[in-house]
Amino acid sequence: MQGRPDSGGDSRDQSGSRHAASLNGTGKTPPASQRSAIPRAGQSSAKPRVSSQLETPRVAHTRRKVARPRKKRFVFLGCLVVFCALFILCGIIASTNLIKALNASSGAATTAAHFLSSLASLDYTQAYKDLSPDITNQLPQDQFIQQGQTADSRYGAIKTYSEVPDSATSQDNKQSFRYTITRTQQGPPTYQNPYEIRIILQSGPDGSTWKIKEYSSALFTPPPLKN
């Protein structure tokens, strides 16, 4: 029994040939070796594109913490303000102490000068008022006046007096000065003229009142001449 030719297979080959012929535009069926190169319907002939540039993987960068310059400036300005405040405070304290020292020295020197001025003008009562209780409790006013009058009659009255430069000293609430005394000497010289005396003053409880605590005995008894 003869087999029937495969009509289905022939029909598929023929249809494929016709389709290939229509694709190449010649109307002719291409050889079987070239059929495989012709794309079938529904297939794209374009080749897949391959990117020639490889994407570089991105690396995550860590952000560095940078110290803010404002914070440093604030610290610097704060230190500068504190330093200036301390400097001003020290200046105020030093100025206050200097003013107090100058006032104390001025007050003591004024009292000493007033004492000698009263003696030079023969006002012994006024001079006695410049003495502190350390002296007045032991030396009555009448006796003080008698000493002054005797010295003036024997050696001459006080003519001039002047503070010795750079002789002022200070310790606690005391001030000391040296003065050069010149008397109106009468007769042949029997004592040193001029001569120096020392006056020590002490401030009162308020710190503003100064009184004479001690004076040299040479005030009323000048030192004798040196042989």
- List pLDDT tens digits, range 40-73: 555 555 555 555 555 566 655 566 655 556 667 7
What the block records as the tokens of 103 is 């006032």
Cβ atoms of residues 196 and 164 within 8 Å: yes
User: Residue 226 has what pLDDT?
Assistant: 78
User: Residue 188 has what pLDDT?
Assistant: 76
Summarised one tens digit per residue, pLDDT across range 105-158 is: 568 999 999 999 999 999 999 999 999 999 999 999 999 999 999 999 999 999
Domains of the chain: 85-219 (3.10.450.100)
Summarised one tens digit per residue, pLDDT across range 180-213 is: 999 998 777 889 999 999 999 999 877 779 999 9
User: Residue 99 has what pLDDT?
Assistant: 44
User: Residue 98 has what pLDDT?
Assistant: 42
Cβ atoms of residues 185 and 156 within 8 Å: yes
Buried b (16+ CB within 10 A) or exposed e, 199-217: bbbbbeeeeeebbbbebbe
Nearest CA among 130, 123, 122 for reference residue 184: 122
User: Residue 159 has what pLDDT?
Assistant: 95
What the block records as the tokens of 6 is 């495969």
User: Residue 60 has what pLDDT?
Assistant: 58
Nearest CA among 136, 103, 119 for reference residue 183: 119
- Segment 75-97 mean pLDDT: 69
14 φ, ψ to 5°? -65, -45
Summarised one tens digit per residue, pLDDT across range 71-85 is: 677 777 778 788 787
Q: Three-class SS of residue 66?
A: coil
User: Residue 146 has what pLDDT?
Assistant: 97
Q: Three-class SS of residue 160?
A: strand
Q: What is the helix (H) or strand (E) element at residue 170, kind and residue range?
A: strand 169-171
Cβ atoms of residues 129 and 218 within 8 Å: no
User: Residue 205 has what pLDDT?
Assistant: 77
What the block records as the tokens of 216 is 């040299």
Does residue 102 have a pLDDT over 60? no
Nearest CA among 133, 129, 99 for reference residue 202: 133
Does residue 25 have a pLDDT over 90? no
The tokens 């010295």 sit on which residue?
Answer: 151
User: Residue 214 has what pLDDT?
Assistant: 96
Alpha helix stretches (DSSP H) within the chain? 7-24, 32-35, 69-120, 124-128, 133-136, 141-155
**pLDDT bucket at 31, cuts 50 / 70 / 90:** low
191 φ, ψ to 5°? -145, 165
Find which of 63-67, 94-98, 172-176, 198-202 is predicted with most confidence, using mean pLDDT: 198-202
Specify whether the backbone of 25 is left (phi greater than 0), alpha (psi in -120 to 50) or beta: left
